[in-house]
């Protein structure tokens, strides 16, 4: 029997949250061909918005690391609804968005919160390339957001 | 004979615009493997720039919905130049960019302008995941922009 | 024997730089299926940060063109580590990020610095679609950044 993403995380001592519902007329995950596209995930812990504000203002770099990790947990929770570990070929690329005060310049450190988690839970299947960019705005004043694609076997 | 995207839209009572020309040294649509990549589309109606300014300032949320819908119409007009309905497997993911005033927070509502249109015209082939982010700037002061990928059969 | 990307560039009189190292816990290029995902590249010339500041303020449009070209050179240097010319099917899509002063509106011109280079070095394999967006912040105050995907044969 195939291992779920949820169980794979649990085996590493990590409990995946309930995946947040879509905030509009779209799918949380879209599968086409052999690629899965995960809708942008925010720092939401079981319907609670945990990080609303700016890095370097309301939030420290360590807060940002945890916020990005929570986005990544939600990504895994979404993927868990669609594929199992043996069907997951791996994460492709992650794009991290952040909102920051003028003099804050620790973006790579916070995005490691997502990168570290993917590699911790998925091992080599968690390896990925990434982009990161400081945005002007995100819905609900969220401090960070995360978009991910992955490859899977039918 | 295969149905064009144009005709599929017309059958739903929607007239696709003339697809805008590329504003630089790139292709409006790039096909590679089984994926099509659509260059960023803006709210342009037959060469007229319809939405230049910020949401929550020059434009209301309803304006933004129409602006995103127009971007999506341009996306379909571009796809129409390359594939027909039977070759289109479906939309993968859409990324929506918006420019907004400080206290405006209705981004998901405007992005539904694109999401609703894709599902209206393409039914299940229009389903997709999505990202949305508030940007600092877009060319020509456009209020919104839209990037889309799709999967097709050769 | 297969031609390297490096050699293909050299044949056009262009010397690829040493590819910048990853600035975090990710891969500079991730290959999955038949698609390669290149991590965001910045204007870095052999460890020197060449363009830190805003377009229309510290940098002119011509500077921006060169900055985007340098990002594209780094993209090719990264791809060169993974595939050769005969395995490269082509560039898919490029996403260009820029930081700009309020009244500067020449983004398509600077992004041509990347688009022109890809077509110069790779000919039809360098053709692509593209997106461009003005961001609030990039790491290290970089003026521009570039994310690219490509398709290859195994």
Q: What is the mean pLDDT of residues C95-124?
A: 98
Query: Residue B24: which of C34, C92, C108 has the nearest Cβ?
Result: C108
Q: What is the pLDDT of residue A1?
A: 64
C26 vs A35, A129, A150: nearest CB: A129
| pLDDT value at residue C1 | 63
Whether A115 maps to a domain, the answer reads: yes
Please write the tens of the pLDDT for every residue from B12-34: 999 999 999 999 999 999 999 99
pLDDT at B1 over 70: no
Residues belonging to chain A: 154
- Top residue of A29, A99, A102, A137 to mutate, by most chain B CBs within 10 Å, is A137
Structural domain contains residue C3: no
Whether B92 is covered by a domain: the verdict is yes
CA of C12: how far to CAs of A59, A87, C84, C99, C117, in Å? 49, 43, 16, 30, 10
Rg (CA), chain C: 15
Return all residues near C48 (Cβ < 8 A) that are at least 6 apart. Answer: none
pLDDT of B147 reads: 98
DSSP A60: -
pLDDT, tens digit, 9 for 90 and up, residues C12-65 = 999 999 999 999 999 999 999 999 999 999 999 989 999 999 999 999 999 999
* Residue C6 maps to a domain: no
Distance from CA of B152 to the nearest CA of C (A): 15
| Domain annotation covers residue C58 | yes
- Is residue A117 in some structural domain? yes
Nearest to C136 among A119, A136, A150 (CB): A136
Number of cross-chain residue pairs from A and C with Cβ atoms under 8 Å apart: 83
Please indicate whether, in this complex, the C-beta atoms of A24 and B131 are within 8 angstroms of each other: no
Identify which of B108, B109, B129 has the shortest CB distance to residue A29: B129
Q: Give the closest-approach CA distance of A153 to chain C in angstroms.
A: 10
- In chain A, which stretches have pLDDT less than 50? none
Q: How far is CA A106 from CA A49, A55, C50, C53, in A?
A: 22, 9, 20, 17
The minimal CB distance from A151 to the residues C23, C33, C141 is found for C33
CB B38 within 8 A of CB B92: no
Q: Do A32 and B95 touch (CB under 8 A)?
A: no
The answer to whether residue A25 neighbours chain B at the CB level (below 8 Å) is yes
Cβ separation C135–B140 shorter than 8 A: no
pLDDT digits (tens, 9 = 90+) for B103-144: 999 999 999 999 999 999 999 999 999 999 999 999 999 999
* pLDDT at C30 (0 to 100): 98
- A51 with A73: CB under 8 angstroms? no
- C-alpha angle with apex C16: C98 to C72, nearest 5 degrees? 20
- Minimal CA–CA distance to C96: which of C122, C64, C123, C120? C64
pLDDT at res. A45: 95
Nearest alpha carbon to residue B117 among B94, B88, B133? B94
pLDDT for C56-102, tens place per residue?
Answer: 999 999 999 999 999 999 999 999 999 999 999 999 999 999 999 99
Residue B26: inside a domain, yes or no? Answer: no
Give me the domain span that covers residue B74.
39-152
Partner C contacted by B131 (CB < 8 A) = no
CA distance C7 to C4: 5
What is the C-alpha separation between C109 and B99, in angstroms, rounded? Answer: 21
B141: left (phi over 0), alpha (psi -120 to 50) or beta: left
Angle at C137 between CA C135 and CA C141, to 5 degrees: 125
Contact B115/A at CB under 8 A: yes
Which of C68, C69, C130, C154 is the mutation pick for testing B, counting most B CBs within 10 A?
A: C130
Split into its structural domains, chain B has a count of 1
A143 with A51: CB under 8 angstroms?
yes
With an 8 Å Cβ cutoff, is C23 touching chain A?
A: yes
* Cβ B127 vs Cβ B148: under 8 Å: no
In a domain, A51, yes or no: yes
CA of C21 vs chain A CAs: smallest distance (Å):
12
CB C98 within 8 A of CB C134: yes
pLDDT band at B63 (very low <50, low <70, confident <90, very high): very high
Q: Nearest-CA distance from A132 to chain C in Å?
A: 7
Kindly state the DSSP code that residue A57 receives in the 8-state scheme: T
| CA-angle at A102, arms to A101 and A108, nearest 5° | 75
CATH code of the domain containing B96? 3.30.1330.40
In terms of pTM, does the model score above 0.95?
yes
């Amino acid at each position: 029997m195939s291992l779920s993403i949820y169980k794979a995380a649990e085996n590493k001592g990590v409990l995946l949250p309930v995946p947040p519902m879509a905030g509009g007329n779209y799918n949380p995950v879209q599968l086409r061909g052999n690629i899965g596209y995960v809708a942008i995930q925010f720092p939401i812990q079981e319907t609670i918005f945990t990080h609303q504000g700016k890095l370097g203002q309301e939030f420290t770099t360590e807060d940002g690391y945890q916020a990005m990790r929570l986005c990544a947990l939600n990504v895994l929770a979404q993927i868990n609804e669609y594929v199992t570990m043996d069907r997951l070929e791996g994460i492709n690329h992650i794009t991290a968005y952040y909102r920051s005060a003028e003099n804050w310049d620790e973006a790579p450190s916070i995005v490691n919160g997502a990168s570290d988690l993917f590699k911790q839970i998925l091992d080599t299947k968690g390896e990925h390339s990434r982009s990161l960019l400081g945005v002007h705005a995100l819905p609900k004043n969220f401090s960070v957001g995360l978009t991910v694609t992955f490859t899977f076997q039918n």
